[in-house]
């Protein structure tokens, strides 16, 4: 069974209606109900995605309606309270400034709108041996207006996920960093508990009030943290 059709996700999708935005769907768009009209936002077109991820094969990538970089004011093209729902599935771990992305997602949501957010739980992924990203690190990035992950984020990824590259001549390493940066590999790492703690602390500091409608941690689904949060 695909994670997209897991029961806990289906219960959240069933609540969606009206105009919505899915960010970074690539070739795995969320199966929203007929009452929901979803538009797609990404940093690259479908053709660019096919070239960057040849291992995906002939799977269809979604046609992108809105182009923009999340870390470079990409969501600024949308006015406040534009959408009834926003879907952010396995995206926020790639960005440089996760707390800013959260703030922007809630900004473009209408009152009572839903944010559906999914984050890999490191215990069930290739990130299992990496250290958890701390809240202090993320809050400092938010306060400093960080717009790009530095090389250390990707070196940490390579040390744990592709350690063989360090057995190669040292002059090859910058090329590997460029490759993982272009592919937007995981820059930040959470398990379900640390993600939920970060989310609660960040929304409190940002003055965002949201109630949890659906929640499934990795300890239940053995894959991800998933939550559907209603903006109040």
Tokens of 181: 């940066």
What share of the chain has pLDDT > 70, as a percent? 98
Lowest mean pLDDT among 77-86, 172-181, 207-216: 172-181
Q: Which domain holds residue 195?
A: 3-121+190-231
Res 58 pLDDT > 70: no
For residue 103, the model assigns a pLDDT of: 98
pLDDT at 51: 82
* 158 in a structural domain: no
User: pTM here?
Assistant: 0.92
pLDDT value at 17 more than 70 = yes
Instruction: Give the residue-averaged pLDDT of 114-140.
Output: 97
Q: Where are the alpha helices (DSSP H) in 120-191?
A: 135-143, 151-161, 173-182
CB 43 within 8 A of CB 74: yes
The reported pLDDT for the residue numbered 90 is: 96
Whole-angstrom Cα distance, residue 58 to residue 99?
34
61-105 pLDDT, tens digit each: 899 999 999 999 999 999 999 999 999 999 999 999 999 999 999
Among 124, 67, 63, 71, CA closest to 94: 71
Q: Read off the pLDDT of each residue in 38-60 and give the average, rounded to a whole number.
A: 83
Mean pLDDT estimate for the chain? 94
Q: Is residue 166 part of a domain?
A: no
* Count of domains for the chain: 1
- Which domain CATH number covers 28? 3.40.50.150
């Amino acid at each position: 069974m695909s994670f997209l059709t897991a029961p806990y996700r289906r219960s959240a999708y069933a609540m969606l209606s009206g105009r919505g935005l899915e960010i970074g769907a690539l070739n795995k768009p969320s199966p929203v109900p007929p009452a929901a009209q979803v538009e797609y936002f990404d940093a690259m077109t479908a053709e660019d995605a096919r070239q960057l991820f040849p291992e995906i094969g002939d799977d269809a990538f979604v046609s992108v309606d809105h182009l923009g970089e999340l870390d470079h004011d990409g969501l600024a093209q949308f006015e406040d309270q534009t959408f009834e729902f926003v879907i952010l599935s396995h995206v926020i771990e790639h960005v440089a400034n996760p707390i800013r992305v959260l703030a922007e997602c809630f900004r473009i949501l209408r009152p009572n709108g839903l944010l559906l957010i999914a984050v890999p739980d490191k215990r069930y992924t290739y990130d299992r041996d990496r250290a958890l990203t701390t809240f202090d690190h993320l809050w400092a990035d938010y306060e400093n207006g960080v717009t790009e992950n530095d090389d250390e984020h990707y070196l940490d990824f390579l040390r744990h996920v592709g350690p063989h590259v360090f057995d190669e001549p040292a002059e090859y390493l910058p090329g590997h960093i460029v490759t993982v940066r272009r592919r937007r590999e995981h820059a930040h790492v959470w398990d379900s508990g640390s993600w939920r703690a970060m989310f609660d602390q960040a929304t409190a500091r940002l003055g965002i009030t949201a109630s949890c409608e659906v929640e499934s941690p990795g300890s239940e689904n053995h894959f991800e943290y998933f939550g559907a949060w209603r903006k109040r």
